[in-house]
Amino acid sequence: MTDVAANAPLLTVEGLEVAYHRVAIALYGVCLRVMPQTIVVLLGNNGAGKTTTLRAISGFIGLDDASITAGCIRFAGQAIQGEPPHANTRRGIVLVPERDKVFPNLTVAENLAVAVSHRAGTAERQRLEALVFQFFPALARLRSQLAGLLSGGERQMLALGSAIVCKPELLLIDELSLGLAPVVVEDLVRRVSSIRQELGITILLVEQNASVALAVADYGYVLENGRVALEGPAAELRGRGEIQQSYLGQASGEERRSYRALRQRPAERRND
Amino acid sequence: MSLQLVANVVVLAAIYALVSTGYVLIYRASRVLNLAHGELMMVGAYFLVATAGLFSGDPLLALALAAVCGLVMGMVVYVVLMRWMTGEAVLAAVLITIALGILLRGLVILIWTTQQFYPGATFGWRNPPVAIVPGVQISAASLAIVAVAILVYVGLFGFLQFTRWGVRMRAAGQNPLLAEQRGIRLHGVYAFAWGLSTFTASVAGMLMALDSGVESTMAIIGLKAFPAALVGGLDSLLGAVLGALIVAAAEIAAIQYVNPLLSDVVPFIVLLIVLAIRPWGLFGSREQLDRV
Amino acid sequence: MELRLLGTTRQRIRFALVLLVLVALPFVATPFLLDLANQVLLASIGALALMLLTGFAGLISLGTAGLLAAGAYAVGVLVREANAPFWVTLPAAAVLGALLGLIFGLPSLRLRGLYLAISTLGLHFVVIYLGGEYEAREILSTGIMIASPSIGRWSLSSGREWYFALLFFAGLALLISINLQRSRTGRAWRALRERDVVASALGIDVQRFKLMAFMVSATMTAVAGALFAYFRNFVSIDAFSLYLTVQYVAMIIIGGMGSIPGALLGAGFVILFPYAIEALAGLLPARFSNTVFALDYAAFGVVMILFLLLEPAGLIGIWHRLRASLATTSLRLPR
């Protein structure tokens, strides 16, 4: 049970610094704020530090020998930086990772069954599982299909579904749209939005595809080289020239460059 | 092959299969090769010696108690020792299991000396030969081994396929990171895998004790069963059964038609052949080789 | 990297002192201590061989006992069948070692890590079986007796004579190891250990170097086995169990993986350990002291576990940490 005052943020990150292998600094004092039941998006190119931020929040920072060297992360008023991942999961911080997001040799049904809902009783868990099939009817059809054989979009749906079964308070999604066709992404994003409506979950979404993300987000941060370069309500960000130029691939005014130059770098399988 | 030989193969395969479940369970859950498995099996057999001494009038109680001790032993080994190696290099974990095996061998002799024990005799049971088919005889304990092996396999298969915690164990084996992210406590899963593993090993050890007695050198059977697990692909139960049949058939055939001294080395020859032709075994997957 | 082995005057003085102690030892030590020293020297050869293979090149091998057995059996069989002198048997053992090294090394071209270790385990059992076969066929229930190596009327039999002979061989092994470590081969092996995929991308002929590592290591081990046979005047397959392999693996772990002084320290530790246990056992009630070998097993297992858990860098790791902490306390280096 989180004890959040009406206008207090659910998650605050203050001055977060993260270094890999103790020497390569990935984050230089990142500050974020996520209000309850909102969708906040973290934008930025590869290497900007988005995934690192998510990892720090979820507690899975130990991968690749990374560690939090300074700063504070507060969830529902409690400081959680440096806590082990399972402690955070118990608090209701659930991560949908960028890669390896489902169990490939288990069926869809098994993937959902496997998730442990520390914060929900049996009845509620059943309700959540039923809800997942409501949000993602395609999954209901694929119940006995091996997760490894699913398409990219279906896999992402399953990943989101199994995260929901954990009854998250804060859902961290790393690269929702990576490798998916635009139509599929649009559909997914709509569903994510309705999940937020129905379940009152707070969502922190990491995305390279700014136009998609800003369409559904309430607030956004743009990370660049480990720092927050821009922030603001989504509507505002959508209108800003820099974002249009660098991330949306739209030329503006005299600074017209070829689309090729403006187009985002193709998704690379690299850590942020 | 005469029917008697076939029966012998089935009995030996049952032993190897039963012992192999332990290797498969731990490897499947945590990618660790437990090379102390033979010694743990031996300790299980000695547990029966102890409980038989205490409850000689009530064999079922003695057996049950020893089996429970076997289960607990595995969990203790994980919690006290192997837990610290979770996340470390697999090779270091395997080396620790080798050291554990040596430690157990020493402890067993210190506690029980090198004397041979016959818990069956303590119960007053004479292990009569049973004629399954006219002309084919195996000892009653051997029949029990086959029956128990089948039961254990059915039970394990059911557990892993149909129970929530069984599926969680499989999930943890596939992707430990994701499992943690979905709330599964890896330490709990691994401890249970170890417990199950030593449970089946102890049961195997106890049955062998009833059949031919307990002695501190019986741990070698654990090592001989390993090729069966490998042939099957270290993380497949079904593979272990097939592997056990192949190894047992090869061993019996070699003893019968070539040279009885080959008995201890045939499983390893099979092992080498499999490593040469298809290292990931019958049902394993190729990427296993690189994960190590 | 220092090109000459003994560059500075300080190093030369240290070396001279060590040499002095080594040479003086057999004249001041008791026969018992001398025998211990001989055992340590002998074990060092095998330990260095394993260090080259596993510590340097990163190729896991559980075949040490099998290779020692092969060397010992080369001597045993040749002496028994043909009464061959040592200057035939020792090279024969070396050749057999090289051949077996090739065979043991072949799996490493396809397998890595655990699977490689398992393949060497399998080969171990095959070698042991062959030895057992020979003994059974020749009805040698107590093994093969071997006379001490001799030239003319002089034979190598006293503790002191063995000491210098073994010092020579161990020194040779040490020299070979140090030279290999500094050579192109050694660098290639280190590259192998890190990531052989990367190594091959760098143009290193991975296959050739892997096989070479196995062959060099196996040759050294087989020669050590041959020396064993002469040292004990006796060869029997029972002496070459899996436990022997584990002892050698323990030597390089306890000593410190990948370090030459580590191999020597580890060899010393593992050889002397049972004697220490035996001494302690005398303090225990009779029941335990009767099965000293079991106590030895148990204690050895505990020590190995402790090192693997607490000090994976081995005795060398402990030594470095001690030195580092002494340095900082005495020099008071600024933070």
**C204 Cβ neighbours under 8 A, 6+ residues apart:** C188, C191, C192
Inspect the interface and report whether the beta carbons of B269 and C60 lie closer than 8 Å.
no
Task: List the single residue in A63, A104, A114 with the smallest CB-CB distance to B182.
Answer: A114
Q: How many CB atoms lie within 10 A of CB C187?
A: 15
C146: phi > 0 → left, psi -120 to 50 → alpha, else beta; which?
beta
A89 within domain boundaries:
no
Q: Which of C60, C304, C309 sits opposite B84 (nearest CB)?
A: C309
Q: Which of B164, B179, B185 sits opposite A113 (nearest CB)?
A: B164
Is A63 within the bounds of a domain? no
Q: Establish if A148 belongs to a structural domain.
A: yes
What band does C329 get if pLDDT is binned at 50, 70 and 90? low
Q: How far is B33 from chain C (nearest CA, A)?
A: 8
Which amino acid, one-letter code, is at C40? V
**Pick among B40, B91, B265, B273 to test the C interface (most C CBs inside 10 A):** B265
Confidence of residue C291 (pLDDT cuts 50, 70, 90): confident
Spell out the domain ranges in chain C: 34-240, 243-335
**Is residue A111 situated within a structural domain?**
yes
For B127, what's the count of Cα atoms within 13 Å in the CB-facing half-sphere? 20
Give the pLDDT confidence score for residue C152 in this predicted structure.
65
Among A32, A16, A23, A27, residue whose Cα is nearest residue A271: A27
Report how far residue C104's alpha carbon sits from residue B9's, in angstroms, rounded to the nearest whole number: 31
Q: How many domains does chain A have?
A: 1
Contact B183, A86 (CB under 8 A): yes
DSSP annotation string for C25-39: HHHHS-HHHHHHHHH
The fold for domain B3-291 equals ABC transporter involved in vitamin B12 uptake, BtuC (1.10.3470)
Task: Please judge whether A58 and B178 are an interchain contact, meaning their C-beta atoms are less than 8 angstroms apart.
Answer: no
- What pLDDT shows up at residue C233? 87
- Output the pLDDT for position B235: 85
Consecutive H or E run containing C67:
helix C64-82
Chains C and B touch, contact meaning at least 3 pairs of CB atoms under 8 angstroms apart? yes
A120 interaction partners in chain B (CB closer than 8 Å): none
Contact B103 C249 (CB under 8 A): no
User: In this predicted structure, which of A153-157, A225-229, C61-65 has the lowest mean pLDDT?
Assistant: A225-229
Chains A and B touch (3+ CB pairs under 8 A): yes
Contact assessment for residue A67 and residue A22, using Cβ atoms and an 8 Å cutoff: yes
Query: B177 and A104: CB-CB below 8 Å?
Result: no
Nearest to B180 among A86, A117, A162 (CB): A86
In three-state secondary structure terms, C58 is coil
pLDDT at C203 over 90: no
Q: Most B CBs within 10 Å: which of C292, C296, C308, as the mutation test of the B interface?
A: C308
Q: Is B94 on the interface with C (CB under 8 A)?
A: yes
Q: Is there a contact between A105 and B170 if contact means CB atoms under 8 Å apart? A: yes
Helix (H) or strand (E) holding C21: helix C9-28
| Cβ-Cβ contacts under 8 Å for A33 (sequence gap 6 or more) | A9, A11, A12, A13
Q: By the CB < 8 Å criterion, does B106 face chain C? A: yes
DSSP state of C53: I
Mean pLDDT of chain C: 85
Is residue A237 in some structural domain? Answer: no
Q: What percent of chain A has pLDDT over 70?
A: 85
B-chain residues near C111 (CB < 8 A): 275, 279, 289
3-state secondary structure chain B: CCHHHHHHHHHHHHHHHHHHHHHHHHHHHHCCCCCCHHHHHHHHHHHHHHHHHHCCCCHHHHHHHHHHHHHHHHHHHHHHCHHHHCCCCHHHHHHHHHHHHHHHHHHHHHHHCCCCECHHHHCCCCCCEEEEECCEEEEHHHHHHHHHHHHHHHHHHHHHHHCHHHHHHHHHHHCHHHHHHCCCCHHHHHHHHHHHHHHHHHHHHHHHHHHHCECCCCCHHHHHHHHHHHHHCCCCHHHHHHHHHHHHHHHHHHHHHCCHHHHHCHHHHHHHHHHHHCCCCCCCCCHHHHHC
| Most C CBs within 10 Å, among B42, B94, B247, B268, to test the C interface | B268
Residue A252 clears pLDDT 50, i.e. is over it:
no
Task: Please give the residue of chain B at the shortest CA–CA distance from C119.
Answer: B272
* Angle in degrees, CA B38, B89, A94, rounded to 5: 110
Do residues A122 and A88 touch, judged by C-beta distance below 8 A?
Answer: no
CA distance C47 to C256: 11
Has residue A253 got a pLDDT over 60? no
CB neighbour list of residue A90: distance below 8 Å, 6 or more residues apart: A118, A119, B183
Q: Is the pLDDT assigned to residue C4 strictly greater than 70?
A: no
One-letter amino acid identity for A27? L
pLDDT at residue A39 above 60?
yes
The widest CA-to-CA distance across chain C, in whole angstroms, is 72
Closest by CA position to B173, among listed B281, B285, B44, B61: B285
pLDDT at position A262 is 37
**Mutant choice from A114, A125, A162 vs B, greatest count of B C-beta within 10 A:** A114
pLDDT, chain A, mean: 82
State the complex-level ipTM. 0.89
Q: Which residues from chain B sit within 8 angstroms of residue A95, using beta carbons?
A: 181
Contacts of B94 (CB under 8 A, 6+ apart): B32, B33, B34, B35, C114, C117
Point out the residue among B96, B106, B227 whose CB comes nearest to the CB of C296.
B106
Q: Do A113 and B184 touch (CB under 8 A)?
A: no
Cα gap A189→A212, rounded to integer Å: 8
Higher local confidence (pLDDT), A57 or B135: A57
Cα distances (Å, whole numbers) of residue A128 to A103, A123, A125, A150, C33: 19, 9, 5, 22, 74
* Full residue range of the structural domain in which residue A114 is found: 98-167
Contact B181 A105 (CB under 8 A): no
Query: Are the beta carbons of C244 and C163 closer than 8 angstroms?
Result: no
Q: Per CB distance under 8 Å, which residues of C are interface residues toward B?
A: 60, 107, 110-115, 117-119, 121-123, 125-126, 128-129, 132-133, 136, 242-243, 246, 249-250, 253, 288, 291, 293-302, 304-305, 308-309, 312
Tell me the chain C residues in contact with residue B85 when contact means C-beta distances shorter than 8 Å: 309
- Please tell me which of the candidates B84, B114, B272 has its beta carbon nearest to residue C122: B272
| Residue C110 CB partners (closer than 8 Å, separation 6+) | B279
| Residue B179: closest C-alpha in chain A | A115
Task: Spell out the per-residue pLDDT of chain B, length 292, in tens.
Answer: 588 899 999 999 999 999 999 999 999 998 889 999 999 999 999 999 999 888 888 888 999 999 999 999 999 999 999 998 887 777 788 889 999 999 999 999 989 888 888 888 888 888 888 887 888 888 888 999 999 999 999 999 999 999 999 999 999 998 888 998 898 989 999 999 999 999 999 999 999 999 888 988 889 999 999 999 999 988 889 999 999 999 999 999 999 998 888 888 999 999 999 988 888 888 876 655 554 4
The predicted structure's pLDDT at residue A250: 42
Ranking A125-129, B288-292, C20-24, C323-327 by mean pLDDT, the lowest is: B288-292
Residues of A in contact with B170 (CB under 8 A): 103, 105-106
C125/B264 CB distance under 8 A? yes
pTM over 0.80: yes
pLDDT at residue A266, rounded to an integer: 44
Assign C45 to helix, strand or coil.
helix
Express each pLDDT in A77-104 by its tens digit: 888 888 888 788 888 999 999 888 999 9
Residues in chain A: 272
Q: Give the model's confidence band at A219: pLDDT under 50 very low, under 70 low, under 90 confident, else very high.
A: very high
Structure confidence by residue, pLDDT tens digits, C128-186: 989 888 888 887 777 777 777 776 667 777 888 888 889 999 999 999 999 888 888 88
DSSP string, C276-312: HHHHHHTTS-HHHHHTHHHHHHHHHHHHHHHHHHH-T
Paired strand residues for A24: A20
Evaluate if residue C282 carries a pLDDT over 80.
Answer: no
